């Protein structure tokens, strides 16, 4: 099982992942200490791919690579790296390499880079910046974490609202310091409040004398700097925004958010939802064993508590189990079916809450629907499992018991799977985080209780 000898190759249908051969050549160059060869291999790679490479190799290889590559690790690589690795990698860089790396970054990327660093490293990065850039970054860090203020770049391209196309183009052509990427010119009033924007395409396609006011876009939306970044991502996705002006509490323009940043946030939020639904708080592949263990343990502890609760229900029926051992054989089936149906309902509900499709106007209808779906599937599997039970154990009444328990548990699963996330959301608890434990507790307890209870009533 050594890394070097056995190789599972994932299908290579995709053109974007780093080819295994390329990784091999890079690691060989690292081992040979061939600095020039390594730089040549890294040069054509996108910083995001280099970051992925650093995440995939092990710690020793990573440190060697950084030592051999020296200042070949650009700032963009750092900003693409997973948080859990950034501190390590930054710690490996010489002060000169770090300085040259961060100077090339956009202000929002520097903010993203330093916000989670320890103070000492944060200072080192800030010291490497030009005074003006440093000021912009420190300014951005005064906004709360995960706010639009942290996400925005402070560079804006703006024009007074009374300008014409010609005036704007002349201004842009004379301006030395335009941002690398911008898609709109923001119109501001004399008090710096954004009043509209014009796409560059429209600007280029219009005659010089046209007033900017006449060619602004309907899609214009203003983002408050204090808004949660998840809401920002929602707005970009929902309204197909490309860029949007960000304003402070007085409504004055303080920055711009572009769609690539919003897309990254959307991606993170999805990731978080998926991991939380599975009971993995946060965490990534490159976390150390200790961190991974620590992240997963609390969720397993919650699960232990809920499964002990279910066992206490079973313990109520020890006599029945001793008399009819078939009950012990069949009872996990009822609980498992309920758990699965509940997870189905809750996942749909959690997603619908996240995308704002589940609201006050349809929540009762959705609950009713989930219960009907549970009922229909319940009846289907009740009949199936009832027949199997009779054939297996030759006791018709056992078939009736498991069938009834199945129907009850699947209806309850539909109800609990919808109500629990809605209630958690109302209480201000992330439904992705906590619903799973509650729902399976309900379906386990109800499943065991219904099955064993019915058995006592009908069979003993």
Task: Kindly tell me which of 94 and 322 has the beta carbon lying closer to a second copy.
Answer: 322
User: Are 294 and 220 spatial neighbours (Cβ–Cβ below 8 Å)?
Assistant: no
Cβ-proximal residues to 450 (8 Å cutoff; 6+ apart), any chain: 334, 404, 405, 408, 409
User: Are 89 and 116 spatial neighbours (Cβ–Cβ below 8 Å)?
Assistant: no
In the complex, minimum distance from the CB of residue 75 to a second copy, in angstroms, rounded to a whole number: 14
In the complex, minimum distance from the CB of residue 66 to a second copy, in angstroms, rounded to a whole number: 17
Task: Kindly tell me which of 15 and 142 has the beta carbon lying closer to a second copy.
Answer: 15
Task: Kindly tell me which of 124 and 184 has the beta carbon lying closer to a second copy.
Answer: 184
Count CB-CB contacts under 10 A for residue 385: 20
User: Are 346 and 418 spatial neighbours (Cβ–Cβ below 8 Å)?
Assistant: yes
φ and ψ of 418, to 5 deg: -100, -45
Task: Kindly tell me which of 133 and 444 has the beta carbon lying closer to a second copy.
Answer: 444
- DSSP assignment letter at 8: P
Beta strand residue intervals within 105-214, DSSP E: 158-160, 184-188, 194-199
User: Are 72 and 47 spatial neighbours (Cβ–Cβ below 8 Å)?
Assistant: no
Task: Kindly tell me which of 124 and 168 has the beta carbon lying closer to a second copy.
Answer: 168
DSSP symbols for 228-243: BHHHHHHHHHHHT-SE
φ and ψ of 137, to 5 deg: -65, -45
356 Rama class: left (phi>0) / alpha (psi -120 to 50) / beta = left
User: Are 421 and 431 spatial neighbours (Cβ–Cβ below 8 Å)?
Assistant: yes
User: Are 84 and 286 spatial neighbours (Cβ–Cβ below 8 Å)?
Assistant: yes
User: Are 55 and 85 spatial neighbours (Cβ–Cβ below 8 Å)?
Assistant: yes
In the complex, minimum distance from the CB of residue 146 to a second copy, in angstroms, rounded to a whole number: 14
φ and ψ of 279, to 5 deg: 75, 35
In the complex, minimum distance from the CB of residue 277 to a second copy, in angstroms, rounded to a whole number: 7
β-strand pairing of 243-247 with 253-258? antiparallel
In the complex, minimum distance from the CB of residue 193 to a second copy, in angstroms, rounded to a whole number: 18
In the complex, minimum distance from the CB of residue 95 to a second copy, in angstroms, rounded to a whole number: 27
In the complex, minimum distance from the CB of residue 83 to a second copy, in angstroms, rounded to a whole number: 14
Task: Kindly tell me which of 140 and 422 has the beta carbon lying closer to a second copy.
Answer: 422
In the complex, minimum distance from the CB of residue 127 to a second copy, in angstroms, rounded to a whole number: 27
**Closest by alpha carbon to 254, among 179, 150, 181?**
150
Task: Kindly tell me which of 48 and 141 has the beta carbon lying closer to a second copy.
Answer: 48
User: Are 396 and 404 spatial neighbours (Cβ–Cβ below 8 Å)?
Assistant: no
In the complex, minimum distance from the CB of residue 99 to a second copy, in angstroms, rounded to a whole number: 22
User: Are 147 and 226 spatial neighbours (Cβ–Cβ below 8 Å)?
Assistant: yes
Task: Kindly tell me which of 124 and 389 has the beta carbon lying closer to a second copy.
Answer: 389
Task: Kindly tell me which of 99 and 348 has the beta carbon lying closer to a second copy.
Answer: 348
């Amino acid at each position: 099982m050594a890394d070097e000898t056995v190789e599972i190759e994932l299908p290579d249908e995709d053109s974007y992942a780093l080819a295994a051969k390329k990784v091999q050549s890079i690691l060989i160059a690292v081992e040979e200490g061939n600095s020039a060869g390594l730089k040549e291999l890294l040069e054509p790679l996108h910083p995001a791919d280099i970051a992925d490479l650093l995440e995939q190799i092990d710690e020793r290889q990573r440190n060697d690579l950084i030592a051999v590559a020296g200042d070949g690790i650009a700032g963009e690589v750092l900003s693409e790296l997973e948080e859990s690795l950034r501190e390590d990698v930054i710690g490996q860089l010489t002060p000169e390499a770090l300085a040259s790396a961060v100077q090339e970054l956009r202000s929002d990327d520097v903010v993203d880079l330093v916000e989670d660093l320890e103070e000492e490293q944060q200072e080192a990065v800030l010291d490497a910046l030009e005074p003006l850039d440093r000021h912009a970054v420190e300014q951005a860090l005064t906004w709360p974490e995960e706010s639009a203020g942290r996400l925005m770049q402070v560079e804006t391209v703006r024009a007074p609202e009374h300008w014409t196309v010609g005036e704007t183009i002349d201004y842009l052509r004379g301006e030395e310091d335009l941002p690398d990427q911008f898609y709109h010119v923001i119109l501001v009033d004399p008090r710096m409040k954004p009043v509209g924007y014009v796409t560059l395409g429209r600007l280029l396609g219009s005659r010089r004398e046209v007033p900017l006011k006449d060619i602004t876009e309907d899609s214009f939306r203003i983002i408050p700097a204090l808004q949660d970044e998840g809401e920002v991502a929602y707005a970009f996705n929902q309204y197909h925004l490309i860029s949007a002006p960000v304003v402070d509490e007085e409504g004055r323009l303080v920055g711009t958010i572009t769609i690539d940043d919003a897309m990254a946030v959307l991606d993170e939020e999805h990731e978080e939802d998926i991991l939380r639904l599975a009971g993995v708080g946060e965490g990534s592949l490159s976390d150390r064993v200790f961190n991974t263990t620590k992240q997963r343990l609390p969720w397993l502890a919650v699960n232990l508590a809920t499964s002990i609760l279910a066992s206490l229900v079973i313990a109520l029926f020890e006599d029945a189990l001793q008399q009819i051992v078939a009950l012990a054989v069949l009872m996990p089936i009822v609980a498992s079916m309920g758990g699965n149906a509940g997870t189905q309902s809750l996942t749909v509900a959690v997603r619908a809450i996240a995308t704002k499709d589940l609201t006050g106007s349809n929540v009762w209808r959705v609950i009713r629907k989930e219960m009907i779906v549970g009922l229909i599937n319940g009846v289907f599997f009740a009949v199936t499992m009832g027949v199997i039970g009779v054939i297996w154990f030759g006791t018709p009444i056992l078939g009736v018991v498991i069938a009834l328990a199945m129907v009850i548990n699947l209806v309850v699963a539909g109800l609990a799977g919808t109500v629990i996330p809605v209630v958690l959301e109302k209480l201000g608890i992330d439904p992705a985080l906590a619903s799973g434990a509650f729902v399976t507790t309900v379906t386990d307890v109800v499943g065991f209780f219904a099955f064993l209870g019915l058995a006592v009533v009908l069979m003993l």
